[in-house]
Structure 1
């Protein structure tokens, strides 16, 4: 039985912290694979800053050579009305039937799920396992204690992880640097940096 982690984000662009997070989670939780899952540009709650093909290409450039990292475009290809994490986890549990599948997320998303802000929040919690990374001084045990759907399913399905090192470089920061003529070279993988430069990504529209 393999252990698979599903790591969803906009990856707009993918950063060195995304890679470090995935590597840290895989090491500490003994995951066999981490699947990088770029979100759909059809989502109503997110606005992408570049085309899907560019995000997809950069993810593949970033993870090239690491046999434990896989890119999957499942959500990119789905219709808007089908896109939610509950549906996504159903898909991957069917795809990796017999394996342990975990949803990797930051503690800020745990807060949203606990407050039932996600579609099918209760079913998502009851039917899945989670690896949760500390973020922004959020007390994860307190978040679980304050939410009925989280505390009543706190049976070992929540793996809480402290990063052990403050690394919060965001895709937003990198986009801003590119748009202002800054130099974010060492904040994202070198092939992705070169890709952004070559394709003039995130440049401010005049």
Structure 2
């Protein structure tokens, strides 16, 4: 039985922190694969600055030299945004029926689930396992203990990573730097930086 982590994000763009985080989690949690799962640009709750194709190309460049990393276009190819994470994880459990599936997320999302902001949250928590990364200012144990849903399903459901995992270089920081003429070259892989410049991504267009 393999252990597989599902790592969903906008990846707009993917950063060295995304890669470092995925590699660190794979090492600490003994994962056999980390599946990078870019979301659809049709999501109403996100403002994505690039096309699905460009984000996919950037992910392909960033992950090409690590055999533990694989890409999935399951969400990015959805015609409309109607999926919840519950359906996504059900999909991967069908793809990997003999393996153990974990959803990788930040502690901020744990709080969102506890507060009922995710669709099918009860079924999601009852039927799945999670690797939760620390976020500054969030007490993960308190978030679990203060939620009836989380604390009554905490029987190995949550693998909490609270040591040396929180890093705050974000995709939005890179986008902002590029839009203002900055050069955030060493915050993402060289191939990705070159691709962004070659395709004028995130560059503020003159009016």
Shorter chain as denominator, the TM-score bin is: over 0.9
- In the TM superposition, what whole-angstrom CA distance separates every residue of 1:164-206 from its partner, at most 9, and x where no partner exists? 1552100000000000000100001110000000000001122
Q: Report the equivalent of 2:122.
A: 122
- Report the equivalent of 1:97: 97
Summarize the alignment of residues 1-206 of structure 1 with structure 2, pairs less than 5 Å apart.
Answer: 1-164=1-164, 166-206=166-206
Number of aligned residue pairs: 206
Show CA shifts across 1:10-31 (max 9, x none): 0000000000000010000000
In structure 2, stretches of 5+ residues that fail to align are none
Counterpart contact for 1:43–1:83, Cα < 8 Å: no
Deviations 1:15-70 (A, max 9, x none): 00000000010000000000000001111101110111000000000000111000
Q: Distance in 2 between matches of 1:119 and 1:132?
A: 19
Structure 1: where are the runs of 5+ without partners? none
1:163, 1:60 → 2: CA distance? 29
- Cα distance in 1 for partners of 2:141, 2:89 equals 23
- TM normalised by structure 1 equals 0.98
Partner Cα separation in structure 2 for residue 195 and residue 100 of structure 1: 35
| TM superposition shift of 1:79 | 3.3
Question: RMSD in angstroms over aligned alpha carbons?
Answer: 1.0
CA gap 1:165/1:155 in 2 versus in 1, 3 angstroms: closer
- Counterparts in 2 of 1:148 and 1:167: CA distance versus 1, 3 Å: same
Q: Which runs of 4+ in 1 moved over 6 A?
A: none
Separation in 1 of the partners of 2:115 and 2:39? 22
Aligned-partner SS, 1:169 = coil
The Cα shift of 1:82 comes to 3.1
More helix by share: 1
Alpha carbons 2:133, 2:165 under 8 Å: kept: no
Instruction: State whether residues 61 and 192 of structure 2, in contact with CA within 8 Å, keep that contact through their aligned partners in structure 1.
Output: yes
What is the deviation of 1:83? Answer: 1.9
- TM superposition score normalised by structure 2: 0.97
Inter-partner Cα distance in structure 1 for 2:81 and 2:171: 26
